[in-house]
Chain A
Amino acid sequence: MEPLLKVTGLQKHFPIRKGLLQRQTGAVKAVDGLDFEVYPGETLGVVGESGCGKSTMGRLITRLLEPTGGKIEFQGTDISHLGVAGMRPLRRDVQMIFQDPYGSLNPRHTVGSIVSAPFKLQGVEPEGGVKKEVQRLLGLVGLNPEHYNRYPHEFSGGQRQRIGIARALALKPKLVVADEPVSALDVSIQAQVVNLLDDLQDELGLTYVFIAHDLSVVRHVSDRIAVMYLGKIVELADRKSLYESPMHPYTKALMSAVPVPDPRRRGAKSERILLQGDVPSPIAPPPGCRFHTRCWKATDLCRTQEPPLLELRPGQRVACHHPENAEGVTVPEARQSVDVTITKKPEPAEPEATEPEPEAEATADAKAEAEVKKDDAPGE
């Protein structure tokens, strides 16, 4: 199947300027080489800790930002460097749902004018008139169509998020990028909004890129999941493989923070991996594998050689020199040749320097990890 969206080597470096002359003194490497594709009708979940570049990635594929490097193809068209005018017709097909239900709606506009903005800006005249269509959309997202003339401040967070969803869906887009659409909402409302997005996907045949900062939210909506760390994808796999046998140590650590929904497995799998240290700065990411400073399996190889994102199992791409759950996986030629040139044993018995720390940590303190949501997971 042709991918709807194809991203290759995508980069975004924000320059850091200093002084009166605004000279560039460095760059925040927010996104630093992403490769993935999104197929029609699927939901690609994207997870990672705060600051790893998820929002930047979302803004790049919706072209709110211009990439520093790499290529974004939408339905085979290269959109990486299109200008405002060039992008305008494509804007109908790619829409975004924002994280902050308070910041994403202009407080000075009525709901009606917010949801009808897509029609005005794109010069579309829906049959039956704009007002009728806006009211239909409000109904579609579960709001009272008669609240057309109300202002955003008169709605709750969850209702505002529905208004944002109505606006994003107004032009019947093909691809919707949802940037942490529920993380600002009350836990009790999160499930409702996730379910709404899920229902709308079936109803309208949408394709989602669903960004979240922990695995529990994307679990129920995603077909495939990409795990990001410091501007890179470290693992990209279908949901089943990722949850049953994560291969990247970082994925495993994130996973250990997710509450197990099945009570019978709760005892067996409750060991948590507490990551050591902080996320390094994206201004000067560590050499080699970016995760090596916090990885319990890191070796010299990891510190010098950046692992490529390779398909180690069908449907499971991993960027790691020493993947987890790798039993029965034939290490591909490419990897072996990398190992050989470095003349290093692929699996050393004991990693040095960093503490071996995959053991059970009784203290339920999850500071370094992604926050864990309540375990009344949506859709279950």
Chain B
Amino acid sequence: MTAPLHETSAGEATATVDGAPDAPGTPDKSGSGGKAIEGRSPWKIAWTRLKRDKLALAGAFVVIFLILVAIFAPVIVGLLGHPPDEFHEDQIDPLFGTPIGSWGGINGDFLLGVEPVNGRDVFSRIVYGARISLLVAFLAAVFAVFLGTILGIIAGYFGGWIDAALSRVMDVMLAFPQLLFTIALVSVLPNELLGLDGSGVRIAALVLVIGFFGWPYVGRIVRGQTLSLRNREYVEAAQSLGAGRFYILRRELLPNLIAPITVYATLMIPTNILTEAALSFLGAGVKPPTASWGQMLSTAITTYESDPLFMVIPGLAIFITVLAFNLFGDGVRDALDPKGSR
């Protein structure tokens, strides 16, 4: 009897995605043989939007490039550089301790010049530094997202005193002086622990500390989302069909939490990179001879007047990496935002 207003829905659906070729309801020519029409999932739509965001794509390319550099650091250095902890005193002016030649000793052999005093290959140290930066930032983000998601869901879904207690814990942690704590912690770390060498212990400590102080940010967002999602009518609909708590968490809530968690995780990585750099700069990061960008910056401070380029290069590395991750993260956020205009 009643014609289910197909036109309206077609218009609505295509308003968000441009040029959807087969909007629902428009009599379709192809799928008449009982074949189900494929829907556009929220993820597909986000992907379409992301593909049109030029800045985000540029960020993504840089991010992928950096990840590849980090993974294949030994190969790249083997082809284009020298071992990162090898001294090259022949490249250093014995009188002043500065690299021989202009521009920090850049030449065909040393692509980004050499470090003052000991003549280590800056290119190799930057490439290996990317490893530390990305590894620490990724692992810390994974750790923070893992803790934050679980505790945030528990707080938001169960509410009551559990929520009150967890929320207070998050407040306290957000007010905690993370940097000071980390410096104090790292200075008392032993050189070997659980079969890890000095750098391994430092990296593990950085991951745990940055991740541990990062989870309340994720936790707060997940808690808020859960709180608003658990009163949605579709949760009640599942309940009215006899669904238990676990089913509702897994099938109704979690799929809706993945988008905000993804966004937060991508935006957390650049913050973690900066934190790692800051800690390394302050001497609480990995120890030499292992290279890290923050540590290179702090070494460069003593020689910046005679060899400014040695300071600029790690600074640029940090800047470009953080910018790329931020551009990509913003793109992901815009793409996943259901209210996004694009």
Contact = CB atoms under 8 A, between A and B. Distances in A.
A and B: bona fide binding partners: yes
Contacts of A149: 36-39
A118 B5 CA distance: 26
Given A95-B240, A107-B42, A149-B36, A155 B234 contact: no
Interface in B229-244: 232-234, 236-244
Given A84-B242, A148-B36, A192 B256 contact: no
A196 interface: yes
A154 interface: yes
A309 interface: no
A100 B233 CA distance: 8
A258 to B, nearest CB: 24
A107 to B, nearest CB: 6
B2 A192 contact: yes
Contacts of B19: none
Interface stretch (B8-16, B56-64, B67-75, B100-108): B8-16
Interface string B163-197: 01000000000000000000000000000000000
A98 B236 contact: yes
Given A64-B239, A143-B4, A153-B16, A105 B234 contact: yes
A144 interface: yes
B270 interface: no
A111 B34 CA distance: 16
Given A64-B240, A149-B39, A189 B5 contact: yes
A96 B37 contact: no
A232 B276 CA distance: 62
B35 interface: yes
B341 interface: no
B47 to A, nearest CB: 14
Interface in A54-69: 59, 62, 64
Contacts of B237: 96, 98, 104, 164, 167
A136 to B, nearest CB: 13
Contacts of B244: 84
Contact of B2 (A59, A87, A95, A196): A196
A167 B240 CA distance: 11
A9 B50 CA distance: 56
Contact of B232 (A103, A162, A171): A103
Given A20-B164, A108-B255, A159-B9, A150 B37 contact: yes
Interface stretch (B23-31, B124-132, B141-149, B207-215): B23-31
A131 B320 CA distance: 51
B255 A109 contact: yes
Interface string A196-234: 100100000000000000000000000000000000000
Contacts of B6: 144
A154 B24 contact: yes
Interface string A39-80: 000000000000000000001001010000000000000000
Interface string A128-152: 0000000000000011101111110
A64 B288 CA distance: 62
A354 interface: no
B334 to A, nearest CB: 17
Contacts of B12: 153-156
Nearest to A135: B36
Contacts of A153: 12-13, 16, 42, 338
Nearest to A92: B242
Contacts of B243: 121
A95 B130 CA distance: 57
Contact of A147 (B24, B42, B160, B242): B24
B38 A99 contact: no
A294 interface: no
Contact of A99 (B8, B37, B233): B233
A276 interface: no
A146 B36 contact: yes
A95 B240 CA distance: 7
B236 A59 contact: yes
Interface in A251-307: none
Nearest to B241: A121
Contact of B233 (A84, A98, A196): A98
B242 A87 contact: yes
Contact of B5 (A20, A87, A158): A158
B338 A107 contact: yes
Contacts of B42: 107-108, 151, 153
A153 B243 CA distance: 24
Contact of A22 (B39, B164, B256): B164
Given A64-B240, A84-B242, A96-B240, A159 B4 contact: yes
Nearest to B23: A154
B319 interface: no
Given A118-B241, A121-B238, A150-B24, A106 B252 contact: yes
A72 to B, nearest CB: 14
Contacts of A95: 240-241
B52 interface: no
A103 B34 CA distance: 30
B37 A121 contact: no
Contacts of A99: 233
B8 A156 contact: yes
A95 B256 CA distance: 24
B96 interface: no
Interface string B230-274: 001110111111111101000010011000000000000000000
B256 A108 contact: yes
B243 to A, nearest CB: 5
The 5 closest A-B pairs by CB, nearest first: A150-B39, A108-B255, A104-B233, A88-B242, A192-B2
25 contacts: A22-B160, A64-B236, A64-B239, A96-B237, A98-B237, A99-B233, A104-B233, A104-B234, A106-B255, A107-B42, A108-B42, A111-B39, A144-B37, A146-B34, A148-B37, A149-B37, A153-B338, A154-B23, A154-B24, A154-B40, A155-B9, A162-B4, A164-B237, A171-B241, A199-B1
Interface of B: 1-2, 4-6, 8-9, 12-13, 16, 23-25, 28, 31, 34-42, 160-161, 164, 232-234, 236-245, 247, 252, 255-256, 338
